[in-house]
Amino acid sequence: MGKNIRNYKAEAILRDGSSILIRALRSDDTDRLHDLFSRMSRRSVYFRFFHTQEWISLDALAHFTDLDFDRHVALAAVVREEDEEIIAGIGRYSVIDGGRGKPTRAETSFAVADRYQRRGMGTLLLEHLARIARARGIEEFEADVVGENNRMMKVFAGSGFGAKRSIEGGIFSISLATRETEELREAQLRREQEAAAQSIRPIFCPASVAVVGASRQEGSIGAALLSNIVRCGYTGKVYPINPKATEINGLTVYPSLAEVPGPVELAIISVPAPIVEQAIRDCAAAGARAVVVISSGFGEASPEGREAEERIRELVRASGMRMVGPNCMGIVNTDPAYSLNATFIPPWPPAGNIGMMSQSGALGYSILERIQSLNIGLSTFVSVGNKADVSGNDLLAYWSEDERTNVIVLYLESFGNPAKFSRIAPEIARRKPIVAVKSGRSAAGTRAASSHSAALASLDVAVDALFEQAGVIRTDTLEQLFDVSLLLSTQPIPRGPNVGVITNAGGPGILLADACEAKGLKLPEFSESTVEQLRSFLPFQAGVTNPVDMIASATPEHYQRAVEIVGKDPKVDSVIVIYIPPQLHPPEEIPLALGRAAGNVPLEKPVLTVFMSYRGAPAVLSRGPRGRIPSYSFPENAALALSAAEKYGRWRNRPAGSVLQLDPFARAAIRAVIDRVLSRSSGSVWLDPHDLATVLSAAGIDLAASEQARVGEALEAGRRMGYPLVVKVQSDQVLHKTDVGGVLLGIENRDQLKAAIETLTERMAAIGVTLENVLLQREVRGGIEALVGVTADPTFGPLLVCGLGGVLVELLRDVSFRLTPVSDIDAAEMIGKLRASKLLDGYRGAPAGDREGLIRIIRQVSALVDIVPEIRELDLNPVKVLAPGRGAVAVDGRMRIAR
């Protein structure tokens, strides 16, 4: 364990947006520590050492690097200055002996260089130390703080660790609980988001931009980048960099960044891949805050390219910068205060409230063209390319704080850190909708696996689970992405599923009604008042029920009055208006009437239009008092967009839910078993029945009483346990016992048990297995069979699965997935998604099941995963869901763990 901690390394972002590396302190760090303390002010030295000695000898610092990484652990916060590692801060803890038993307390201390104070470095060191300590059984940190050291007091008070303090002789004694609490998670998430948002700001809002690789050669990327920056009216300073030119398009060209007369905040790099690394070094030396690397030839090209990409990423992070790319198309900020188009393509999207990320550069070009043609407004756009540094998670943090961004749109090809996404996306999605299209559905496939849980999982299942939990609106196509984004960026979130439809042609109205029903929307009956008002002015041939068919002769006045009346009906949550041009009126009159009418519909109700014409929606549709009204080419598009928005609204209004955490005694009991089993194995291992029963019992999961016995001792074991029993084969050579007839039920007495063992022995011999052991289990009769399990996805981590059907679960595939941790609300939704969930309510007179009991087991399994991240597969199948109020009992289980 200590050896692993010696290799501890993690990247982090400070409050001001600069990057640091947090790593284990090394034996060769003595000189760096000496440099750290010698540069600290006398006041800072006093706060750390309680004395004012100005100079600290190397011998006095030796104990800092004399670490066993078991009882004594220390971390360093490292930055790079001119290719040299500089320690900017340290944090350490030493275990305090508490007498008998394993120690659970440690003394901790911190020191941060004066120039890095007030940036959150001490808090980050504390978080990482606590994570290490928590994994090693340390439950409490203690720290002594001089009374005048208000900064350190604030660090502890705001850390989320529940600081408690006492004072004696001017020295405060601070106590910090290392356990992970909801308060701690919220504090960490808030700090991460604020720091990430601040680090991204120089990319979108730079005061100056250098174009490294600027060119006058027409058709080159360097020329296009510089031209777009100037053409679109960038308001800051522009510095073209090219050692072979002195002037381009009237701008002074500089041979290198070192020659630039002013500060450079953002550098756009478009030079051949082999010299990108040197260009980034020049950026660091010039004090740039961020770089956008357009150049390709890195991780997407070859193994050597991947190595080069890793080098530039480390260089960027060590220099405190952030990087978009490499192999990207660039970034756009339509804010008139910046008007920055740092891309090499011509489309300049209209300004709006959508922040958009594309992982594909080529597709990003098409996206911007499409956005321009649809007149969809963007606040910012970024093509992230290989995502070597800046990721979707960083951009989410920025957009969550950006006042110009109300909708976040993502085109994703892969996930870098889905666990972090699952933490930050829900908090953001409760304020701003996130719409995503994720490519690669067919590439996932079903993985060959040895358990039911793993066989049912796939990469796309994990993506769906992640998005559903996080409140992300997933679309299947780019067209749907634009449709949904257009609605969310122009209209309120619908309060409910009820839609009022108005049309001048019956057929499209029927198509829309069918599409709405298929997507979970409803067309309610109007109130009597609405029907009477519609009847008062529409022709007698018109239909005044929902959908309203005003027939082809409908005038602009008909449309305006109908929309206003239907929009005010209390039974209607949204309005969709369909228009097929019959060429009876000037082309602009209907959209102008709709614009006026929408202004009189209550503001909380979305208004959508469908213009079924090759010309599309007229521009005058946006001239009403309500502003832009979204328009679609076909009824189905409008129904899909509105359905997605309505589902998102339901998610946003639901309770957040609570995650179950087991108490320290349960955690200790479970870890004792897991650590013992892993200490005896170098690979993966299945827990034996006794160990599995111990772990499940500590987690609070009821498991039918069982006893493993050798074949010759089974009759005596049966006598001890009592009847009725189930007898099962126990052999590493048998995976699914029911597949080979390895489970016999209803054993009522000794003679039946003897006969059952003989039968099982013969069946195993027939497939070449010598039966040595059997598992006897008290039979749980009745109940509805369910599956609860876990599989570890290499990208997304633990996936929890729930299904109904017992041994038929793989055949029926009636299952739902969630990423852990799973809240009580998540667990209830998992069950509600199952087609067979009606069985729990007593389907067609059958006995009902204890839904709450099944929810409880799902939450307990989720809590177990939190304690045992080594779980690779877990099957509780079947789980017998008993009658309401009697809970649920696992009657068979398997768990595979690995380091």
Task: pLDDT band for 708, please (50, 70, 90 cuts).
Answer: confident
Q: Tokens at residue 732, please?
A: 């590493």
pLDDT at position 843 over 50 = yes
pLDDT at position 755 over 70 = yes
* pLDDT on residue 445: 34
Residue 4, classed as helix, strand or coil, is helix
pLDDT at position 70 over 50 = yes
Burial of 810 (0-12, 13-18, 19+ CB in 10 A): middle
- Kind of pairing, strands 784-793 and 797-804? antiparallel
Q: Tokens at residue 841, please?
A: 């309510």
pLDDT at position 443 over 50 = no
Separation of alpha carbons 562 and 597, rounded Å: 9
* pLDDT on residue 97: 79
* pLDDT on residue 804: 86
pLDDT at position 432 over 90 = yes
Running DSSP on this structure, what letter comes out for residue 621?
G
pLDDT at position 18 over 70 = yes
pLDDT tens-digit series, residues 501-540: 999 999 999 999 999 999 999 999 999 999 999 999 999 9
* pLDDT on residue 455: 44
pLDDT at position 107 over 70 = yes
Task: pLDDT band for 681, please (50, 70, 90 cuts).
Answer: confident
* Close Cβ partners of 101 (under 8 Å, ≥ 6 residues apart): none
Section 15-44 average pLDDT: 87
Separation of alpha carbons 764 and 742, rounded Å: 8
pTM of the model: 0.87
In the numeric block, the tokens 């870098």 are attached to: 416
- Answer whether 574's CB lies under 8 Å from 498's CB: yes
DSSP result, 31-69? HHHHHHHHTS-HHHHHHHHSS--S---HHHHHHHH---S
Half-sphere exposure of 38 (CA within 13 A, CB side): 13
Q: Which of 560-564, 795-799, 818-822 has the lowest mean pLDDT?
A: 795-799
* pLDDT on residue 526: 97
Task: pLDDT band for 409, please (50, 70, 90 cuts).
Answer: very high
Percent of the residues in the chain that have a pLDDT greater than 70, as a whole number: 93
Segment holding 192, helix H or strand E: helix 182-204
* Burial letters 92-125, b for 16+ CB under 10 A, else e: bbebeeeeeeebbbbebbbbbbeebbebbbbbbb
E runs forming strands in 689-783: 706-710, 725-730, 743-747, 773-778
Half-sphere exposure of 268 (CA within 13 A, CB side): 34
- Which of 277, 191, 205 is CA-nearest to residue 12? 191
Q: Is 10 left (phi over 0), alpha (psi -120 to 50) or beta?
A: beta
Segment holding 875, helix H or strand E: strand 871-881
More confident residue, 328 or 614: 328
Section 698-715 average pLDDT: 89
More confident residue, 49 or 45: 45
Q: Tokens at residue 874, please?
A: 């877990």
- Residues belonging to the chain: 899
pLDDT tens-digit series, residues 445-481: 333 334 444 444 455 788 888 999 999 999 999 999 9
Task: pLDDT band for 555, please (50, 70, 90 cuts).
Answer: very high
Task: pLDDT band for 183, please (50, 70, 90 cuts).
Answer: confident
Section 743-760 average pLDDT: 90
* pLDDT on residue 73: 93
Q: From the centroid of its chain, how far is CA 471?
A: 10
pLDDT tens-digit series, residues 412-425: 888 878 888 988 99
More confident residue, 665 or 54: 665
pLDDT at position 393 over 70 = yes
- Which of 65, 58, 61, 31 is CA-nearest to residue 49? 61
Task: pLDDT band for 126, please (50, 70, 90 cuts).
Answer: very high
- Answer whether 214's CB lies under 8 Å from 254's CB: no
* pLDDT on residue 273: 96
Q: Tokens at residue 617, please?
A: 């929606």
In the numeric block, the tokens 């010696």 are attached to: 6
Separation of alpha carbons 97 and 665, rounded Å: 20
Tell me the C-alpha to C-alpha distance, in Å, between residue 471 and each of 416, 800, 826.
19, 18, 12
pLDDT at position 230 over 60 = yes
Cis bond before residue 878 (omega within 30° of 0)? yes
Section 388-392 average pLDDT: 94
DSSP result, 129-184? HHHHHHHTT--EEEEEEETT-HHHHHHHHTSSS--EEEEETTEEEEEEE-S--HHH
Give φ, ψ of 676 to 5 degrees.
-65, -45
* pLDDT on residue 56: 58
Task: pLDDT band for 378, please (50, 70, 90 cuts).
Answer: very high
Task: pLDDT band for 1, please (50, 70, 90 cuts).
Answer: very low
CA geometry: angle 113, 117, 122, nearest 5 deg: 90
pLDDT tens-digit series, residues 245-258: 999 988 999 999 99
The average confidence (pLDDT) of the chain is: 88
Burial of 144 (0-12, 13-18, 19+ CB in 10 A): middle
pLDDT at position 791 over 60 = yes
* Close Cβ partners of 422 (under 8 Å, ≥ 6 residues apart): 466, 469, 470, 819
pLDDT tens-digit series, residues 321-357: 999 999 999 999 999 999 999 999 888 889 999 999 9
Q: Which of 18-22, 346-350, 583-587 has the lowest mean pLDDT?
A: 583-587
Most confident of 136-140, 176-180, 882-886: 882-886
* pLDDT on residue 147: 66
* pLDDT on residue 448: 34
Separation of alpha carbons 260 and 281, rounded Å: 15
